Structure 1
Amino acid sequence: MYGAGRGTSCSVPQSSDSDITGIRVSMGLAGHIKGVSLRQGSVWSEMCGKKDVINQEFILRPGEHVISVYGTSKNYFRYLVFSTDFGRSASFGRKEGRTFTAYPDEPGRVLTGIFGQYSFLGLKRLGFKWGQPLVQATMTPPTTKQKTTKESWCDML
């Protein structure tokens, strides 16, 4: 697990019938990441952590999967970037603190679940579950160089 400290445990396990199709991140006004929810199929999971006032979503395309997560933490998580096998990424928060990069230990594996610990102020620890996708890509990623999608609530301010 990445991050430091202790708190209440939370998890979003792998769905038995759907891959991850979206990511929702909840941010507090102080810049802490409060929680993360995954959409599996068309259903959003419970928040791993707490829900707060700023919620942003990254919706994956059919057949698209998360293949790495980059982020920073400083007592609480401050920044998360989810990157996909289609060359897209979405960032949440502000880069501040110690960095980490998480990715599967074998080729072909994708993000299938998350787990962690949180307190009232935000996520303190976060881990990632990797496994085989349930559905293989239904479309081919773009072959032309495409601008990486970056979505961050900080960019909107």
Structure 2
Amino acid sequence: MLLLLTLALLASPTCRAQNVLGNAAGKYFYVQGEDQGQLKGMRIFLSVFKFIKGFQLQFGNNWTDVYGSRSDNFIDFLLEDGEHVIKVEGSAVICLISLTFTTNKGRVATFGVRRGRYFSDTGGSDKHLVTVNGMHAPGLCVTGMGFKWEDNAKDLGSPEPVKEPKDSSDSSNKKEDEGRGKDDDDNDEDEDDNDEDENNYGNDDDDDDNDDQKDES
């Protein structure tokens, strides 16, 4: 079986693509779909020998064509809202034998069996997977795969500052203080009036005494 795969790969036209991990023999492909939305899932088709026979990607609500070949044995890995693939690992002999996807939410999905030559790729902590390219032997398997990473989306809108609720007790205390100040002013005016009245009363008494003295004389 491996001999047939090797002969098929050698007979196929090859395209040396940059950043293709695994094997760069076979027919080149690039999965287009970013314009339809974010990467939301992947469907991996496995052969009876558990190597990666083909795959599809889901962008938004749409699935792409199958790259490689279909099989009755396939597994879907769907991403949740706000979830992105941040790391891909795999292994290859002639075909890709395994693929492992790790997301920013800590979920890990492994397809196939890890054996052969191991590889790993990531865009770093500030990037996520948006699509893939690679090589496949038509009708047989996916031989190699490359990964396109993109900066995480940034929220350009600045959140509105949180307005602290006004404390009703502070307002009532303020009004109370203003009321007290007003009462104090009124009391001061009353005291001034009383002082003036007392002075007038004293003056009246002095005038009466002066009148009495004039009468006696």
TM-score by length of 1: 0.79
State the partner residue of 1:117.
135
SS in structure 2 opposite 1:16? Answer: helix
Instruction: For 2:105, give the aligned amino acid.
Output: F
1:78 aligns with 2:107: no
Q: Provide Cα deviations, 1:86-132, integer angstroms capped at 9, x if missing partner.
A: 0001110011101011101x432110111111113211111011113
Instruction: Work out the CA distance in 2 between the residues paired with 1:9 and 1:51.
Output: 17
Unaligned runs of 5+ in 2: 1-19, 156-217
Q: 1:46 to 1:17 in 2, by over 3 A?
A: closer
More strand by share: 1
Aligned 1:114-153 pairs, distance under 5 A: 114-119=132-137, 120-133=139-152
Helix, strand or coil for the counterpart of 2:120? strand
Aligned-pair distance for 1:29? 0.8
Instruction: Please state how far the C-alpha of 1:48 moved relative to its aligned partner.
Output: 2.2
For 1:20, the aligned partner's letter is L
CA RMSD, 1 decimal: 1.7
Partner of 1:92: 111
Runs of 4+ deviating beyond 3 Å: 133-136
In the alignment, the residues of structure 2 paired with residue 131 and residue 14 of structure 1 have an alpha-carbon distance, to the nearest angstrom, of 14
The structure whose RCO (Cα within 8 Å, separation 6+) is larger is 1
Matched length: 135
Q: Which has a greater percent of helix?
A: 2
Q: Indicate the structure (1 or 2) with the bigger Cα radius of gyration.
A: 2
1:74 partner letter: V
Partner SS state of residue 6, structure 1: coil
Tell me the TM-score normalised to structure 2 length: 0.58
Q: Percent identity?
A: 29
Separation of aligned partners in 2, 1:35 and 1:125: 11
